[in-house]
Structure 1
Amino acid sequence: MYCNIEYFPKLEKYETKNGTHLRIMSFNTWIFGEHVNDGLNKIAKHIKLVEPDIVALQEVQTKEAFEKLLEILGPKWSGTTSPSTTNSNVAIATIHKLRGAEFILDTTKKINLIEPKKIIASTKTGFGLNIHLEESNEIISFWCLHLDWQSYGPYAANNKLVTKIEQIMNGEHPKTQNGRGDEIIELLKLPEFQEAVRNSDQNALIVCGDFNSPSHLDWKEDTKHLHGDWIVPWPATYLLESKAGLIDSFREINPDPLKTPGITWSTVHQASGYEWDYSIPEPLDRIDFIMYKSPKYKPVKSLTYFGTEPIQQMPNHQNNDYPSDHFSVITDFVLKYPDQSA
């Protein structure tokens, strides 16, 4: 479902006297806004319009660029990038003041950076933070991922010369063991992630990001006519569901992929192939996710987002107001305390 902010209800509509709310945004920034004019300010603009509590960002590029974004967003924002190098691919930003956490305050830029020791753990595809929500005193184990983009599965599935499911799955689990399925297996083996799964009854676990892979929930018998006549158990989402018990918040709210496909790829690549004057249809799919595990949190709304302005397709994209080639995903959660009635 393509939605703009005019149709995305304000958080207050979901407040109840016995609960509180949490808005999560996953946002692939397309090389951090480099493909559109004034892209960094446009990224900040859309984050401010959505008003998320926590945003998972992909394609951030550098720590310095992320610091500039925090500066534009303003003093209430804090966050950090991938901890392994100064070149960053993913980042997490939040408006919440982290209780019990210390900040590295960059006084020259007047921004708050989350201290590296507060990072739970990291892999080559992402990292996690324990975020303390000030108003509710809840702790969120929050993880941002960006899985491998190569060997994109829908290309194989829509290739008429592909005749075996094994050919498609080779892109998810190649012999080099660096496919998207392998990356999720690596995450599932992390002791810190296993602990987050075990503690999810107390501290909600949320995993967001660009998986560069469809969902196993979307490639089923009744939808295979849309996907090259294939039913595919895409491992990235399947493993997080089957091995860790995570729930796809968008598909929980919108259970029918025929009625609400939730396409996130792509805003500007709906036709590809510059050699053919962008006349080759692109296999569009839902590849960005907000997954969670918690008995205390209930998703009440989940939509894709691209702002309010029309989007021009490649190669006429430079002046787009929305700066990404992915639709963002936004999920509103309501928190119910165990000792309170609904």
Structure 2
Amino acid sequence: MPVAREIRVLALNVWHSGSKVADGTQLIAELIISTRASIVLLSEATTATTAVAAELARRGREFNTVASHDTGILTVFPVEDSADLQWMVKARLNIDGRRVTVYSAHLEFRWYASNLPRGYGPGVPEPGEFAEYNFEKLPGGPVTDTAAIQRVNAASGRPEVISTLLADAKNEIAQGASVIMGGDLNEPSVLDWTSATANMFDHNGVTVPWESTRRLHAAGFVDAYRSMYPDPATHPGLTWPSDNAEVDVSELAWAPEADERDRVDFVFANGAALTLSTVGIVGPRGSIVHGTRQQETTEDNFAASPPRWCSDHKGILATYQLTD
């Protein structure tokens, strides 16, 4: 019988390296310990990766680190090789002699096209489409033209970053690796803006086949949360904007008169040796809706809700069994 090894993957945007909340580094370390994460994929982690590793070491927990300017990986497993790919960092791990290649991603936050159907500018630099509105409220109201939304999204470069990842991951898979990718994509999922949610979360009747996740799914990558909770209406898995009791609402919301909640933080896997056993959201049950703090009433699975929170995003915790 093949011996299974449990891998616990935590993906988290740590919000300016954990600096936006007092004791942020300690809170992130406590979260990693309490969730028993063995692979941690950090975004907005400019200085956080090494700082959190040092804090974990101080508490008797040794983690190997791989860091780029904005993304980082912490893991209890040996790192055989690593690379800084633009918008993400990569590490080849040796887990009981088996290769698992992991990618931590944080994609472009401008050209935030999901703002358009909510009546807000997508933060496009000049001279791009809608650039004159920055992230402000649109005087003409919501943009519901799917073609326009997709044009802005494509201009972000996010889908092309995913294609670069997929080309790299294809080589890893060809060499026998299992692949895990996670992080803040700053773009919703193709599985979330469907007819089931067209009249929820201020989608204003719009359905969008978001391109970055569409490419991941087409390449055989499995979205951990949506694979276990397939209904985006009952289990939307919303990760941003998360409530944070220690921060003013004005710092948490970008579109204060809209319901801008979305699932933009993900864990994906590709490989027959990886079997998903559990997945849940990590963070407060509260979100920011129309500029106010509200408790979620969805059926979502929360894996952990710590008493203090370090971010403006919620995280994702996915547990896999790795076999031969």
Distance in 2 (CA, whole Å) between partners of 1:326 and 1:272 is 13
TM-score, length basis structure 1: 0.74
Contact 1:131–1:142 (Cα < 8 Å) also in 2: yes
Q: Can you list the C-alpha shifts for 1:141-184, whole angstroms capped at 9, x where unaligned?
A: 1011101111222211222441421211122212xxx4212222
1:267 to 231, 242, 264: 242
Give the Å deviation of 1:251: 0.7
**Pair 1:255 & 2:238 matched:** no
1:33–1:40 Cα contact (<8 Å) kept:
yes
Secondary structure of 2:5's counterpart equals strand
Which one-letter code corresponds to 1:298 in the other structure? T
The one-letter amino acid of 1:170's match is: R
Q: Which amino acid aligns with 1:44?
A: A
Contact (CA 8 Å) 2:169, 2:179: kept in 1 or not? no
Whether 2:300 is the aligned partner of 1:331: answer no
Quote the Cα distance in structure 2 between the aligned partners of 1:240 and 1:312.
Answer: 28
Runs of at least 5 residues in structure 1 that lack an aligned partner in the other structure: 1-15, 83-87, 102-117, 338-342
Matched, 1:44 2:29: yes
Residues 139 and 238 of structure 1: is their aligned pair in 2 closer, same or farther, counting only changes over 3 Å? same
Q: What is the one-letter code of the residue matched to 1:61?
A: T
TM-score (norm 2): 0.78
**Secondary structure, counterpart of 1:173 in structure 2:** helix
Counterpart of 1:81, as a letter, is A
Aligned residues: CA RMSD: 3.0
1:72 match: 55
Query: What residue number does 1:297 align with?
Result: 274
CA distance in 2, matches of 1:306, 1:43: 11
Between the aligned partners of 2:2 and 2:162, the Cα distance in structure 1 is 38
Q: Tell me how far 1:198 sits from its aligned partner.
A: 3.0
Matched, 1:128 2:66: no
The aligned runs of 1:66-215 (5 Å cut-off) are: 66-74=49-57, 75-82=61-68, 88-98=69-79, 101=80, 118-119=81-82, 121-133=83-95, 136-159=96-119, 160-174=141-155, 178-189=156-167, 192-199=168-175, 202-215=176-189
What is the letter of the counterpart of residue 180 of structure 1? R
State the alpha-carbon separation in 2 of the partners of residues 222 and 17 from structure 1.
Answer: 40
Sort the Cα spacing of 1:163 and 1:97 in 2 relative to 1 into closer, same or farther, 3 A.
closer
Assess if the C-alpha contact under 8 Å between 1:46 and 1:322 holds in 2. Answer: no
**Contact 1:44–1:69 (CA<8 Å) still a contact in 2?**
yes
Q: Distance in 1 between matches of 2:165 and 2:3?
A: 35
In 2, Cα distance between the equivalents of 1:273 and 1:68?
Answer: 28
- Cα 1:297/1:161, change in 2 over 3 Å: closer
Bigger relative CO (Cα 8 Å, ≥ 6 apart): 1
Are 1:240 and 2:216 counterparts? yes
Identity over aligned pairs, percent = 24
Query: For 1:129 and 1:297, how far apart are their aligned partners in 2?
Result: 17
CA deviations on 1:224-267 (whole Å, 9 max, x unpaired) are 1122211101011111111x211101111111111111111121
CA contact (8 A) 2:244 2:309 kept: no
* 1:11 counterpart residue number: none
CA distance in 1, matches of 2:152, 2:288: 31
Q: 2 CA distance for matches of 1:61 and 1:36?
A: 16
User: How many residues get paired?
Assistant: 281
- Contact persistence 2:185–2:265 (CA under 8 A): yes
Offset at 1:129? 0.9
Which whole-Å CA distance do the structure 1 matches of 2:214 and 2:287 have between them? 32
